[in-house]
A and B are shown apart, each in its own frame.
Chain A
Amino acid sequence: MTRKITALMLTLIILLVAAGTLLIEEMSAAPEGNEVGSEHWAFKAPARPAIPETVRKGWAKNAIDSFILSRLEKEGLSPSAVAGRESRLRRLSLDLTGLPPSPSEVDAFVADQSPRAWEKQVERLLASPHYGERWGRLWLDAARYADSDGYEKDKMRWAWFYRDWVIDSLNRDKPYDRFIIEQIAGDLLPNATQEQLVATGFLRNSMINEEGGIDPEQFRMEAMFDRMDAIGKSVLGLTINCAQCHTHKYDPIKHDEYYRMMAFLNNSHESNIAVYTAAEEMKRGDIFNRTREIEATMQERTPEWMTRMEAWEKSVTGNQPEWTILRPEVDDISTGGQKYLANSDGSFLAQGYAPTKHRVKMTVETKQQDIRSFRLELLNDPNLPLNGPGRSIKGLGALTEFEAEYAPVSDPKKITKVKIVRATADFSQTERELESIFDDRSRRRRITGPIEFAIDGVEETAWGIDAGPGQRNVPRRAVFTTEQPISNPGGTILTIYLKQSHGGWNSDDNQNNNLGRIRLSMTSAVGATADPLPAGIREIFAIPREKRTPRQIQTIFSTWRLTVPEFKTENEQIAALWRGYPEGSSQLVYAERTEGRETFLLRRGDFLRPEKRVAPGVPAFLHQLPEGQPVDRLAFARWLVDRRSPTTARSIVNRIWQTYFGTGIVATSEDFGRQSDAPSHPELLDWLAVELMENGWSLKHIHRLIVSSATYQQSSAVSPELQQRDPYNRLVARGSRVRVDGEIIRDISLAVSGLLNSKIGGPSVFPPSPDFLYLPPASYGPKNWYEEKGENRYRRALYTFRYRSVPYPMLQNFDTPNGDIACVRRSRSNTPLQALTTLNEPLFMEAARALAWKTVREGGTTDGQRLRYAFRRVLGRAPALEETKELLGLYSRQRARFARGEANPWNLATNNPDAASPLPVGVNMEEIAAWTAVSRVLLNLDETITKE
């Protein structure tokens, strides 16, 4: 009965909310309904359609061609001839790897008489590690990947392990369903590997706002909306974010259903974990093993170790005073804009803006008498960098000064400063100069070191807690003892100041050195000091001995052995080992919270207007979750890639089609809902979707099918009649001629000039870019841009460091999205700024010079041979007679000008005239300069930046 009423009431509420929302927000007429709308074609799971019969026989190479030809026959059109081998191979190379073929690759293909010649090229290129870079970049658009936080501060972040995970997954042809599951819930898979944790970086590619004065919860919700939008666009091909504010006007997604889906994702920490390359992993494994081996030898040579350890355990059990946790109020102004979020355990988590210098003031009233010591605990938290306990990029912090005051409750103005006479800590680093990232430009010598630095009243010194890689991200504690016990019969107002001024000069950069999660306690006990035992040991002590696991016993041993003088040598050996522990990198990841977070339907998407609580669930018009399984993020991930999902497979095969042919079978690739464009070839779309699912979700299978088709191999030349009839080539009666993506434009120029460093993966790089862009007033704050001088200068463009607020100009001019939001369909513009970029941008110029030098060195001895050489490198084909004439005309005119001394050839032909390479034998500078001019023209041709 009760349940029935609740259900009825709920339905009523939903209806009222939906109706009210519609009335208030949507005065414009909406097409009918949000009722279950499975009649729309895209909401029915795809089934394998029959392959159509065609009149013309013998053209089709696979089913794709039958679908295409059948439609062409209906339209009274015929397919175009197959493209020439040179342009076909260039097309295939650009499509599969984003790099042009070398002249020798072209020669090999042209000379290959085998009937399998094309197939061999397809397999060669599908197996290339550059395939993952090419197609990974497109996924990274959908995943809104960037190397910075966005919003005002737009600080650098570390997410390139995720980028490399995408490249690697595609290269290994990870089944698409697993590819998605790992990105949505890799952390929830059993025994999740580092790679699976890294995959959840997909959910963390959202922007982070750490502007001063923000409410972190507001922007956490913005990030949740962004995650939903990204999943909608990239996985489902559905516009789900409309239902953020109200029931979807066109598609049957209800307002509460949006929040029910969000509830799957909402129970997370925004974590950042240490990650290691394969070599670093080996090193770590080695350190762990060696440590265990040395500990085993210690135990072997000390058979009575167990009894001695137990005696030690007894001696240190129960030797700690009783501490009372303080729950103070934080003074808002004193935080410098950082938010101290109170936790139920009495700790405060620092979030939001991270000022590099501040002195937080915390005030609390207490009845406790004889307060003799204060304890400051620095705690871990999954929301801190590398788990904390601090907020610096290493998860550390420094305490410049611990200060306290008190006043009687009866007379709050009668404030007395507390004299702290003694400080102890469980760990302090040895005294050392502050790292350069914390330089505050004051020219003072600032140091971190022992805990006494926190009570010395000196601005330049602070308590430092860096125990080195692998050992630093653990809880720490310090105890501060007063000269006189504090007592007030009517109660005491305590004020504690934690001065944190060991950050750097630029609060808009990652230069904070703040404490991350803190907890304050006090005690009346005499002689309290900081408990020297590592966190977690006392919890093991609390477990009866017989119930302890070998690992727990080993943990105790690792602590105890440090107290045993006869183990000195081994302890030192182990310490030496750990000094070689790799620093690793970090990666933003998603991590499930242990205690649940409730999700509410938000009125108009406003986080301040929560209405009813919602449970995780999926929209009624789509396939349902399996019964009797846990309802969690992993279930949601599996649901997304369920065979019954109507849009998941269609959406990805459509985007693959879009990339090859310029337009998707559904042109609106981000939306398959009722408002989407009708598919040009609905059966083909379904056929490809089913092919994907029935072939182990292998994306390479789909690529192979497409590029093997006759459809793909057609010439892209177009007659005026066909251009008029089908300007956007939706019917594919010809090959598609498409300007390549911005990254590939850069890659082509680097590859053909021989400059390209084809290394795959690693941290993002900083090719030349105008300095002023990274300084105010062009950028909000000063940003780092360390122009590469070495081999990283010429990496593929997908490795270019991506600041969201200051996009790399060359890529921006060629329509590369900046990662603010998910993008599954790029714009493709054709503008004068693009012409200026390829003509004048420094790296294009360096490529033109490099191609010229390469040409005179390797391209033969006559002008004709050299031209042919350079032309073939750039375009994959030999020049036509007319083209040769024009280009050699330019060559001779410019060479003559240099010879006449009208211009200085060194300036044109060398990046640095003072450090030029020696001239090749028999070549003079005028020639190289004139070849530079020719090379620059070649790099600027429409055909060069076009996939024909």
Chain B
Amino acid sequence: MNNRNRRWFIEQCGVGMGALALNHLLGSRGQAQGSINPLAPKKPHFAPKAKNIIYLFMAGGPSHMELFDNKPMLSKFDGTLPPPELLKGYRSAFINPNSKLLGPKFKFAKYGQSGAEISELLPHTAKIVDDIAIVKSMVTDAFNHAPGQLMMNTGSMIFGRPSFGSWVTYGLGSEANDLPAFVVFSTGSKGPSGGNSNWGSGFLPTVYQGVQFRNVGDPVLYLSNPRGVDESLQQDSVRTIEKLNRMRLNSVGDPEIATRISSYEMALKMQRSAPELIDISKEPKHILEMYGAEPGKPSFANSVLMARRLVERGVRFVQIFHEAWDQHGNLVKSITANCKDTDQACAALVKDLKQRGLLKDTIVIWGGEFGRTPMVQGGDDGRDHHPNAFTMWMAGGGIKPGITIGQTDDLGFNVTEDRVHVHDLHATLLHLLGFDHEKLTYRFQGRDFRLTDVMGLVVNKLLA
């Protein structure tokens, strides 16, 4: 961390938890400078609507035309070629863009007070439409997975930028004292394209990177004591480490040693709290059923339930990567299965957060890195990647419930109304967390970087 940022922490963030602990440890010697806890809770630019995020990342690119964006005209044009003017300058990943149009495969109906249109694949989401805001007019710049996922998660297709979650923890710090601030699960058939960079800290200090959790075995790597080390030995060892570290602190005076002492304390606490956290067997039966979660059986639903438990314990940002939606072929069967795996838990999360009063300050986000082509890939059961239009939904934390914004053309190809670029989405979410996205910056290589690069407009229509 350079001086400027250290100064920023000292000036902007006051003295954090680590420094308090340090004062305690140092007694009269307490000189907090130089060891400010970078994860101490911080205030954003203005009063926030939300303080946590649960991001259900539907990796692979879910088909908007099968889920949210009803396109009856596309059925009509099924089997015909798209209008040539539509394809001008259009690049696609696998198909020749000049491929035949493919009509939507599923039926839609209107639900709730809001009358949002939802496909028959999402019966549970259909029941929460009055709690969520559907954005049918998402746009991104990338049409390959790794760049697309990176774009959605870091605001840039270029590697090396901090992820959304790391920006949020950098800006807000953590309120979890025995858990990481930013937790990541991966539950799909594959991991995300581009791997760890999707939750990396880029040029931000590494404490802001996401920590991968598993929903089976040890939730965090190296959480369990190694073979031969029992609880008593672990306690005795950490106590001895602390005593020797404290002796060293007294003789050399480096406040970093005080931070090390509290890191070991936190590690012990985490060893106790994390197993309890992932043990969902203590959840009441009706909650398990609501999510479709089964203790001991890793699934998307289990991770979603854990996400709620994490947020309850002060974790700032939880992101679940569910890679499943890349239907170049076998669209009908695969997307049906994906919806079976995810629909119920997603809806349950919104309902459960709401009934616990957590939805008001937790934003739930559902969506992938891009949409899919109205044109067919292969025979008659697949679609290619499509960046020009796709759908996401959000709920809670100051998001206006029960609305649908944005329109696409009759084919679902281009956005025609209320275009929301990835940068606009980021700007809006940061706004809800209390940040002016142009001011949440980090100086690197002589430039103040931000999540939204040099773009991004807050989508006012989405705000409650």
Contact = CB atoms under 8 A, between A and B. Distances in A.
B226 interface: yes
Contacts of B220: 833, 836
A77 interface: no
B366 interface: no
B442 interface: no
Given A677-B2, A835-B264, A839-B267, A671 B144 contact: no
Interface centre among B1, B228, B385 (most CB of A within 10 A): B228
Contacts of B238: 839
A212 B94 contact: yes
Contacts of B6: 727-728
Interface centre among A25, A827, A882 (most CB of B within 10 A): A827
Interface string B243-281: 111011001111111011101101101110000000000
B240 A25 contact: no
Measured as residues with beta carbon below 8 angstroms from the partner, the interface class of chain B is 35 or more
B446 A211 contact: no
Contacts of B243: 886
Contact of B196 (A207, A241, A737, A806): A806
B228 A211 contact: no
A806 B195 contact: yes
A779 B221 CA distance: 15
A564 B193 CA distance: 57
Nearest to B204: A827
A376 interface: no
Contacts, number: 299
Contacts of A25: 454
B270 A239 contact: no
B33 A779 contact: no
Contacts of A723: 31, 33-34, 253-255
Nearest to B249: A942
Contacts of B222: 809, 833, 836-837, 839-841
A728 B34 contact: yes
B3 A677 contact: yes
B230 interface: yes
A834 interface: yes
A215 interface: yes
Given A821-B159, A893-B236, A894-B233, A830 B263 contact: yes
Contacts of A6: none
B194 interface: yes
B180 interface: yes
A933 B197 contact: no
Interface string A211-224: 11111000000100
A737 B252 contact: yes
A668 interface: yes
B286 interface: no
Interface string B65-100: 000000000000000000000000101111110000
A433 B445 CA distance: 54
Nearest to B444: A670
B309 to A, nearest CB: 19
Interface string B227-239: 1111011101110
Nearest to B38: A829
Nearest to B180: A833
Interface residues of A, number: 114
Contact of A805 (B29, B194, B211, B264): B194
Interface stretch (B182-190, B310-318, B340-348): B182-190
B233 A225 contact: no
Given A675-B446, A818-B196, A840-B226, A779 B244 contact: no
A737 B256 contact: yes
A677 B193 contact: no
Contacts of A663: 2-3
B21 interface: no
A897 B232 contact: yes
A737 B249 CA distance: 12
A741 B444 CA distance: 21
A333 B446 contact: no
Given A151-B146, A671-B445, A728-B34, A332 B195 contact: no
B229 A820 contact: no
Contacts of A150: 159, 194
A837 B230 CA distance: 17
A827 B247 contact: no
A619 interface: no
B255 A933 contact: no
Interface in A897-940: 897, 902-909, 929, 932-933, 936-937, 940
A905 B228 CA distance: 7
Given A333-B95, A903-B228, A942-B248, A805 B253 contact: no
A839 B226 CA distance: 8
Interface centre among B217, B226, B238, B454 (most CB of A within 10 A): B226
Given A728-B34, A842-B226, A776 B189 contact: yes
A587 B206 CA distance: 31
A830 B385 CA distance: 41
A807 interface: yes
Contacts of A540: none
Contact of B145 (A26, A211, A778, A903): A211
Contacts of A28: 438, 454
B230 A903 contact: yes
A770 B220 CA distance: 11
Contact of B33 (A727, A772, A781): A727
A673 B384 contact: no
A820 B159 contact: yes
Contacts of A835: 260, 263-264, 266-267
Contacts of A73: none
A944 B197 CA distance: 30
A250 B445 CA distance: 11
Contacts of A886: 240, 243-244, 247
B402 interface: no
A943 interface: yes
Given A151-B194, A840-B225, A209 B146 contact: yes
Contacts of B271: 836
A225 B196 contact: no
A667 B318 CA distance: 33
Given A737-B256, A780-B190, A211 B221 contact: no
Interface centre among A207, A608, A805, A839 (most CB of B within 10 A): A839
Contact of B257 (A675, A807, A942): A942
A815 B240 contact: no
B251 to A, nearest CB: 7
Interface in B385-419: 385
Interface in B18-54: 29, 31, 33-34, 38
A793 to B, nearest CB: 16
Nearest to B94: A213
A720 B254 contact: no
Interface stretch (A395-403, A410-418, A711-719): A711-719
Interface of A: 25-28, 150-152, 154, 207, 209, 211-215, 222, 225, 233, 239, 241-242, 249-251, 332-333, 337, 608, 663, 667-668, 670-671, 673-677, 716-720, 723-724, 727-728, 730, 737, 739, 770, 772, 776-781, 803-807, 809, 812, 815, 818, 820-821, 827-837, 839-842, 845, 880, 882-883, 886-887, 889-890, 893-894, 897, 902-909, 929, 932-933, 936-937, 940-943, 946, 948
Interface of B: 1-4, 6, 29, 31, 33-34, 38, 89, 91-96, 143-147, 157-160, 180, 186-197, 200-201, 205-207, 211-212, 214, 217, 220-230, 232-234, 236-238, 240-241, 243-245, 247-248, 251-257, 259-261, 263-264, 266-267, 269-271, 321, 323, 377-378, 384-385, 438, 443-447, 454
Given A213-B144, A821-B158, 10 more contacts: A150-B194, A151-B193, A213-B143, A332-B96, A677-B2, A720-B29, A727-B6, A887-B244, A903-B232, A908-B227
11 contacts: A209-B146, A211-B144, A667-B3, A728-B34, A776-B188, A778-B191, A806-B196, A880-B247, A883-B247, A887-B244, A941-B241
